[in-house]
Amino acid sequence: EPEVTQTPSHQVTQMGQEVILRCVPISNHLYFYWYRQILGQKVEFLVSFYNNEISEKSEIFDDQFSVERPDGSNFTLKIRSTKLEDSAMYFCASSAGEGQPQHFGDGTRLSIL
Amino acid sequence: AQTVTQSQPEMSVQEAETVTLSCTYDTSESDYYLFWYKQPPSRQMILVIRQEAYKQQNATENRFSVNFQKAAKSFSLKISDSQLGDAAMYFCAYISGRNTDKLIFGTGTRLQVFP
């Protein structure tokens, strides 16, 4: 069964550094998402992406965050200058259409020191 | 704004028994989708079941079924014949049917399964 893959599984970064989290969505999916889950808390929506542009973003997704689909397969989340509070599990998801099930990757655990 | 509430932080069940996890939501919309996701200790988010609000029939997926009560805004998950592998965090989630694909999650219910 096709799946969403995320790399790396764990990223440790110094505060203030830039980090790029990578995702390969399911190949025939058109909608892409990033969510985050701070340890012990619920999953929060960050951003959705369709047709090469952001379709929706949350208040969390400020100017420090950006997303990109640099080629036909990858979908990346960049945090420009990381803060301690960015430490979380980051999930990428993709779906075939609006209202369709979103399939999640295994997540990247981001630890900011 | 839509909200999803899971009032049971933890539940436990004996292997082979049945357990029901509760979820309520608040929305003024009539068209939306509801989901249950499972998150085992490995932290992966796995889709368990999906319900479209316009369908009166409750969704079923093998041992998993839902009790969707639209008027009461309730969406509970029933797990029959519980197995040790069902032990996980279960999240209820909502998507509006209007020009958004943002999943809104509840706080989760941790399910323990005892042999």
> Which of A43, A58, A104 minimises the CB distance to B44?
A104
3-state secondary structure B23-53: CEEECCCCCEEEEEEEECCCCCCEEEEEEEC
* CB within 8 Å: B95 and A107: no
Chain A residues in contact with B100 by the CB 8 A cut-off are: 48, 56
Q: Which residues of chain A have pLDDT under 50?
A: none
β-bridge mates for residue B88, sequence order: B111
Which residues of chain B approach chain A closer than 8 Å at the C-beta?
A: 33, 35, 37, 42-47, 50, 52, 91, 93, 95, 97, 99-108
Closest CA relative to residue B106, chosen from B20, B1, B22, B27: B22
**Matching residue, tokens 């009560």:** B69
Gap between the Cα atoms of B86 and B17, Å rounded = 12
* A96 CB within 8 Å of a chain B CB: no
* CB within 8 Å: B95 and A35: no
Structure confidence at residue B76 (pLDDT): 98
Type of residue found at A6: Q
pLDDT tens track, chain B, 115 positions: 789 999 999 999 999 999 999 999 999 888 899 999 999 987 788 999 999 999 889 999 999 999 999 999 999 999 999 999 999 999 999 998 777 789 999 999 999 999 9
* A55 CB within 8 Å of a chain B CB: yes
- Residue B66, min C-alpha distance to chain A (Å): 16
Structure confidence at residue A44 (pLDDT): 95
β-bridge mates for residue A11, sequence order: A110
How many residue pairs bridge chain A and chain B with CB atoms within 8 Å of each other? 59
Structure confidence at residue A98 (pLDDT): 78
Structure confidence at residue A23 (pLDDT): 97
Structure confidence at residue A41 (pLDDT): 87
> Which of B33, B97, B106 minimises the CB distance to A42?
B106
- Residue A18, min C-alpha distance to chain B (Å): 24
C-beta of residue A73 within 8 angstroms of C-beta of residue A94: no
Chain A residue nearest residue B44, CA to CA: A106
Gap between the Cα atoms of A19 and A22, Å rounded = 10
